[in-house]
Amino acid sequence: MALMVRSEHAARVDSAITSGSTANWRDGRVAVVIGAATTLVAVAGSWIPSIWGDEAASLMSARRDWASLWTMLGTVDAVHGFYYALLHVWIDLVGDSPLAIRLPSGMAVGAASAGLYLLVRRRAPRETAMIAAVVFAVLPRVTFLATEARSLAFSTAAVVWLTLLALRLLDAPMRRVWWWVYAIGLALSSYLFLYSALLIPVHAIVVAVELRRTGPARGIRLRPFLVAWATAAVLAAPIAVIAVMQRDQIAFSRASREVSPEAVLIQQWFMFEPAALVAWALIAVAVAAVTVRAAPHRRPPAHGHRHLLVLGIVWAVVPTAVLLVVAAVASLGYTPRYLAFCAPAVAILIAIAVAALPRRWMRVVAVAVIAVLALPAYLDQRSPYWKNGGTDWQAVAEVVDEVAEPGDGIVFDEGVRPSRRPRLAMHAYTHGFEGLVDLALVRPYDATDHLWDVTAPLSELEERLDGVDRVVVVSRGDGGVEHDVATLRRAGFAPVERVDLVSTVITVHERRS
């Protein structure tokens, strides 16, 4: 009889293990499908918008040889150095077209969506996990990430997968190697994007809440987490110190970094007001649904939704609060897109609200409404002049290619802030400027320890006009090149053609006979 009991118990254990393995395999396949579908949505049309200043910085940095890149990072942009190195390897393999340099960001968004499905699935039914992944995939801030050759999509994916690993470590004992993966992953995410380090206090709060709820019942211990967080902090300390030392490189933009309700409540994750209004309403519903159901004599919330609510709120609120405090104290550190790595938390909170609706058709309609409200942002983000107030450098390259001939000179407006200088069109779309003489260039960017070319006014280099009969002038407006145009006039040049684009003016000057 005892043998039969033991046999039945063993059979039940084997059945549970098999069932769990089957469920994990099924969830893994669902995650792959979600990741692939999200990647396709994210990448579609991503090559259409003109490259803008920050992306030009990525591209130009990645084109440097390793020695030049290392020299530059010692002076500026060390916080992006890891991403620049990855992009350097990538463009060596696939090229540097707009699609090529943005494709990794689209793939990272897909990876984040797949990871988010698995993360939510650890605490909630499959339907909630799928809703969270779909909502994440259509959030305007997320679809924006896929059109940016920057590190934010990578850091968002890293944060999602690290949070999934943290939950796995919280749920059951794991081999020591996974604790090292967790600690090193936290550190590396900070090298991708410095503010990813704010994931440590997020995880600390979530672990503390879980420990308070369960006590020693599941054998969860705080010490391994403390060791992992301390290790990550030590490993990330160098990039934090360097960031402080290089903080003056963005001093010019402090005036544009003012915190406002619109920036926090709309721009951070939703970008368009209608989407923001519906999203915040659903987040309020999520909080109410879980809180009311958790009250005495009420039906309990769906399995794990309370845990997800805590995770989502802490993940969304703590980094935002820290950046707002930094902005208030140091007038530095905040811009809405910096909080993109909290978008998964917003998707979790919205998913909880949608999953609380009593009928499946209601849930389907709710997700459809969110997608429809996000569609205008998606289409806008994939229009030619969407970036940075109408960047039109792709059109600039096309026009210059049409109006200029090999041997002609070219002059750029250097009077605007670095990320808007028309000169960057030449580095973003090199094909349109082949064979032209850069009259104002003193030293190319890759021969300096800074991001940009070193230039001088044309009046100081007037001898370079000898032998040049046509000069193309590219400016953000007539005022930015008036001194260079005056120099051309003194040298006998007169304007013969003008093309006005969205934010750039191109004029052709010819030497009078």
pLDDT digits over 414-468, tens only?
999 888 999 999 999 999 999 999 999 999 999 999 999 999 999 999 999 999 9
Per-residue pLDDT band for 173 (boundaries 50, 70, 90) equals confident
In a 10 Å sphere around its CB, with 0-12 CB exposed, 13-18 middle and 19+ buried, how is residue 258 labelled?
Answer: exposed
* H or E element at residue 472: strand 470-475
Q: Which residue has the tokens 């920050």?
A: 54
Distance of CA 33 to the CA centre of its chain: 22
What pLDDT, on the 0 to 100 scale, is given for residue 6?
39
* pLDDT at 252 exceeding the cut of 80: no
Q: 251 CB contacts (<8 Å, ≥6 apart)?
A: none
Contact in structure between 140 and 381 (CB atoms under 8 Å): yes
What pLDDT, on the 0 to 100 scale, is given for residue 296?
47
What pLDDT, on the 0 to 100 scale, is given for residue 381?
97
Short-list 246, 387, 266, 250, CA closest to 327: 250
| Residues 428, 299: Cα–Cα separation, whole Å | 58
Per-residue pLDDT band for 289 (boundaries 50, 70, 90) equals confident
Q: 325 CB contacts (<8 Å, ≥6 apart)?
A: none
What pLDDT, on the 0 to 100 scale, is given for residue 375?
97
* pLDDT at 1 exceeding the cut of 70: no
Per-residue pLDDT band for 293 (boundaries 50, 70, 90) equals low
* pLDDT at 12 exceeding the cut of 60: no
Per-residue pLDDT band for 291 (boundaries 50, 70, 90) equals confident
pLDDT above 70 coverage of the chain, percent: 90
pTM of the model: 0.92
Q: What mean pLDDT value characterizes the chain?
A: 90
What pLDDT, on the 0 to 100 scale, is given for residue 19?
47
What pLDDT, on the 0 to 100 scale, is given for residue 218?
56
Domain boundaries, the chain: 22-381, 392-511
What pLDDT, on the 0 to 100 scale, is given for residue 329?
82
- Mean of pLDDT values over 1-19: 40
**φ and ψ of 415, to 5 deg:** -90, 0
Per-residue pLDDT of 315-339, as tens digits, reads 999 999 999 998 888 766 689 999 9
Per-residue pLDDT band for 343 (boundaries 50, 70, 90) equals very high
Per-residue pLDDT of 300-317, as tens digits, reads 445 578 999 999 999 999
Which alpha helices (H) appear in 356-454, and where do they start and end? 360-381, 393-403, 423-428
- Mean of pLDDT values over 276-302: 75
Q: How many other CB atoms are found less than 10 A from the CB of residue 392? A: 20
What pLDDT, on the 0 to 100 scale, is given for residue 189?
97
* pLDDT at 490 exceeding the cut of 50: yes
- Mean of pLDDT values over 50-70: 97
- Mean of pLDDT values over 385-408: 96
Short-list 85, 94, 80, 93, CA closest to 65: 85
What pLDDT, on the 0 to 100 scale, is given for residue 392?
97
Q: 370 CB contacts (<8 Å, ≥6 apart)?
A: 135, 138, 275, 278, 279, 282, 350
* pLDDT at 370 exceeding the cut of 80: yes
- Mean of pLDDT values over 376-386: 96
* pLDDT at 196 exceeding the cut of 50: yes
Per-residue pLDDT of 114-171, as tens digits, reads 999 999 999 999 999 999 999 999 999 999 999 999 999 999 999 999 999 999 999 8
| Residues 9, 20: Cα–Cα separation, whole Å | 16
What pLDDT, on the 0 to 100 scale, is given for residue 14?
39
